[in-house]
Amino acid sequence: MNIKNISGAGIGLRRGLVSPFQSYGDLNPVQFMEVAPENWITIGGKAAIVFREFAEKYPMILHGLSLSIGGPDELNTTFVKAVKKLKDEIKAPIYSEHLSYCTDGGQLYDLMPIPFTEDAVKHVVERVLKVQDILGERMALENVSYYLRQPESEMTEIEFINAVIEGADCLLHLDVNNIHVNSINHRYDPYEFLDALPTDRIAYIHIAGHYNEAEDLIVDTHGAQVIEKVWQILEYTYKNYGVFPTLLERDFNYPPVAELLAEVSRIDTLQKQYNNSQQNNDQQAIL
């Protein structure tokens, strides 16, 4: 289920990358970008003008950081309405959020894991449905990395994700790096996990780098190059479930733009490889 009007490989437009991107010029093969709406909703002046220039050139996905979809506080519908306004203004194809929470009487400034319980499923589903009512369309939820499993869990991570997405009838924002990170930290097979996800609901994909704290502990940082094991999960996804719009995340420790584009180019190459493979299979089926 590709996002309407989005295809190919993309990259996150972070504030620290705006000037380097402008100076570099042609960002080929970038075909779309992604921003955190919190960083741009209230921005004005020259920064707003520059942002609109990028939004006119590239389809711009909105990927939120602070909605706290699983949080105990009242849903911030004012923020959702502001997201919708920005989304309409720049014709953003989709709004996605993390399947986590980041508020509890105040901003926690981190993405916390939601307890894997039936009550939590109901809570999240109700909130997602409210968001989708305001947006007038389905949103996407990203599978997140987490480091401690909440006590008194009643289901597994995969059961929780599937129950929320099915109950809310929303889309899946697939992060293949988070699958790898969690597979190491919580000791499960990443491919079995991916196979169990509702892959027919994938809207788009994230790929990113991380930090190895220890052999059995990986921290999802988005501050390094993508490793081969994560590229392999992406390729497995394309091979088995189809080619989806895929975005490179890099949130700090920025290398030269050419190095970022080399990773975007690798996404592009894989996409072309598996698109061509699918076309060949389709032709053989016809014959």
Residue 285 has pLDDT above 80, yes or no: no
What residues have CB less than 8 Å from 103, skipping those under 6 apart?
66, 68, 71, 72, 73
The number of folded domains in the chain is 1
Look at residue 108 and tell me whether its pLDDT is greater than 60.
no
**Per-residue DSSP letter, 9:** E
Query: Considering the domain boundaries, does residue 2 fall inside one?
Result: no
| 125 in any annotated domain | yes
Residue 224 belongs to some domain of the structure:
yes
pLDDT in tens, 169-212: 999 999 999 999 999 988 999 999 999 999 999 999 999 987 66
Q: Is 168 in contact with 132 (CB distance < 8 Å)?
A: yes
- The pTM of the full predicted model, rounded to 2 decimals, is 0.93
56 residue type, one letter: E
pLDDT cut 70: percent of the chain above it: 91
Mean pLDDT value across residues 27-37 = 97
Q: Average the pLDDT over 125-148 and give the result.
A: 95
Domain assignment of residue 273, yes or no: yes
111: domain CATH number is 3.20.20.150
Domain assignment present for residue 61? The answer is yes
pLDDT computed for residue 48 by the predictor: 93
Residue 230 falls within a domain, yes or no? yes
Query: pLDDT tens digit string along 209-256?
Result: 876 666 766 777 777 899 999 999 999 999 999 999 999 999 989 999
Highest mean pLDDT among 1-10, 141-150, 156-165: 156-165
pLDDT of residue 146: 86
Q: Which domain holds residue 282?
A: 9-286
Average pLDDT, the chain: 91
- The verdict on residue 177 lying in a domain is yes
Tell me which H or E stretch contains 262. helix 257-286
pLDDT exceeds cutoff 50 at 283? no
Q: What is the pLDDT of residues 69-85, one digit of tens each?
A: 999 999 999 999 999 99
In a domain, 4, yes or no: no
Residue 287 — very low, low, confident or very high, per pLDDT cuts 50/70/90? very low
| pLDDT at residue 107 greater than cutoff 50 | yes
Cα dihedral sign, 270-273-277-278: positive
